[in-house]
Amino acid sequence: MSSLSQPDVRGRKLVFVITEDWFFASHFLPMARAARELGLDVTVVTRVRSHRDVIEATGAKVIPLEAERRSLNPIAAGYAAGQLAAILKGEKADLVHCIALKGILVGGFAAAMAGIPRRVYALTGSGFLGARKDMVARLSQRAVRLLVRGLETNKTRYVFENTDDPRLLGLDPASDRVTILGGAGIDPDLLRPSPLPPCLPLKVALVARMLWSKGIDVAVEAVQTARAQGAAVELSLYGAPDPSNPKAIPEETLKTWSADPGISWYGATRDVGAVWREHHVACLPSRGGEGLPRTLLEAAACGRAIVTTDVPGCRTLVRDGIEGLLVPPGDATGLAAALVALSREPERVARMGEAARARVLNGFTERDVIESVKRLYRSMLAS
């Protein structure tokens, strides 16, 4: 469709619903920019802590709404949905974009109360639904599928970051109701490759929230095993525990690991480019439940080889033997073997890093995400 025949959606109102302002600031600013490029008025409804200014810099308005994402209290969720419905009516929203499972449930219910049929449900990962395979997970998957699909209208569209997650909701990833994005999108001009450090020791970095679900303990055990085998491997952990997440690793545990030779925990970083200038390999031994981890996109943009697990989202970006290596989730022995192998093959590490950079440039940039989102909004508001 040419620009002359595209529908004019300027002045229409889009409202994002997301539980945390930091989450929107770290992952979804390209969506706000996409909406602003279309001329939409944008409001972000979220729990406001310290990222209001970053969100407002896109031209969006921010409205606070307290909705603790860790809480599963249906009364609290219902109260939040009632407050949100009043906000949506007051904003005269034309389109509601709900992000992550709690945002979808609260936002979808609120949109129904406000009588707004145009809704985007963006599942940014399946969480424990994807990470666990037991009966509890299977029953929870069915419950979530019924809840989410029960909140859809004929004008609802879904956004995912990999082709596995749509199936959790009983959706065909090839359906015209489904949009698959290249994760949060990366600006390849801000994150660029730099020369690798000296070959040895092999410096491995894990940049993520310090959660058990991210496999931090698996990485620690793998490096301890590799070093016990005589391999020159060092692990740097960058990230903080997330107090609102039940899978947060206690700070005492992180400090204990950091006392081991070859393992260091540095806390959160605001300069991920500097991290990758000092390391050879990115590691994320996730147990599952990912959308498409931004940390892997950042490492790839910086031209670093990646060792991660063969789970949805991670394997969306990394092809085994090309951009990096895939190991089974929870397999510290397999991860140790991969790190030992890479410590002996510096040229392979360099080739994988080059391939990772090329991979990001082919569908995973911020501009790729913006253009996909613009097409989605334009099509929804034209109907």
Residue 270 has pLDDT above 50, yes or no: yes
Question: CB-based contacts of 262: which residues, under 8 Å, 6+ apart?
Answer: 201, 223, 224, 227, 233, 234, 235
pLDDT score recorded for residue 7: 78
Same domain? 220 vs 344: yes
Q: Which of 59-68, 111-120, 260-269, 300-309 has the lowest mean pLDDT?
A: 59-68
Same domain? 72 vs 165: yes
Per DSSP, the three-state class of 305 is strand
Judge whether 5 lies within some domain.
no
Same domain? 272 vs 332: yes
Phi, psi of 305 (to 5 degrees): -65, 150
The answer to whether 335 touches 314, Cβ cutoff 8 Å, is no
CA distance 12 to 94: 6
CA distance 97 to 46: 12
Q: Using the structure block, give the residue that is written with the tokens 């509601």.
A: 96
pLDDT score recorded for residue 70: 53
Q: Which of 55-59, 63-67, 95-99 has the lowest mean pLDDT?
A: 63-67
The mean pLDDT of 127-138, rounded to a whole number, is 69
pLDDT score recorded for residue 67: 67
What DSSP element (H or E) covers 168?
helix 165-168
Residue 359 has pLDDT above 70, yes or no: yes
Same domain? 263 vs 287: yes
pLDDT band at 170 (very low <50, low <70, confident <90, very high): very high
At 214-251, the pLDDT tens digits run: 999 999 999 999 999 999 999 999 999 887 788 899 99
Task: Report the first-to-last Cα separation within the chain, whole angstroms.
Answer: 15
Domain range for 80: 13-185+365-382
CA distance 269 to 241: 13
- Tokens coding 187: 């600006």
Same domain? 181 vs 215: no
Judge whether 6 lies within some domain.
no
How many Cβ atoms are within 10 Å of 212's Cβ, its own excluded? Answer: 16
Judge whether 239 lies within some domain.
yes
Residue 187 has pLDDT above 90, yes or no: yes
Average per-residue pLDDT for the chain:
93
Judge whether 347 lies within some domain.
yes
The answer to whether 334 touches 221, Cβ cutoff 8 Å, is no
At 84-132, the pLDDT tens digits run: 999 999 999 999 999 999 999 999 999 999 999 999 999 988 665 656 6
Judge whether 250 lies within some domain.
yes
Phi, psi of 337 (to 5 degrees): -65, -40
> What secondary structure letter does DSSP report for 148?
H
Same domain? 44 vs 65: yes
Residue 2 has pLDDT above 50, yes or no: no
Q: Tell me the CATH number at 156.
A: 3.40.50.2000
Judge whether 300 lies within some domain.
yes
pLDDT score recorded for residue 254: 97
Give percent above pLDDT 70 in the chain.
Answer: 94
pLDDT score recorded for residue 245: 83
pLDDT score recorded for residue 136: 79
Judge whether 319 lies within some domain.
yes
The mean pLDDT of 185-206, rounded to a whole number, is 96
Same domain? 46 vs 177: yes
The mean pLDDT of 262-287, rounded to a whole number, is 97
pLDDT score recorded for residue 1: 45
Residue 4 has pLDDT above 60, yes or no: no
Judge whether 1 lies within some domain.
no
Residue 169 has pLDDT above 80, yes or no: yes
Give percent above pLDDT 90 in the chain.
Answer: 85
Entry pTM:
0.92
The mean pLDDT of 23-40, rounded to a whole number, is 96
- Tokens coding 12: 């229409």
pLDDT score recorded for residue 141: 81
At 303-322, the pLDDT tens digits run: 999 999 999 999 999 999 99
Same domain? 56 vs 171: yes
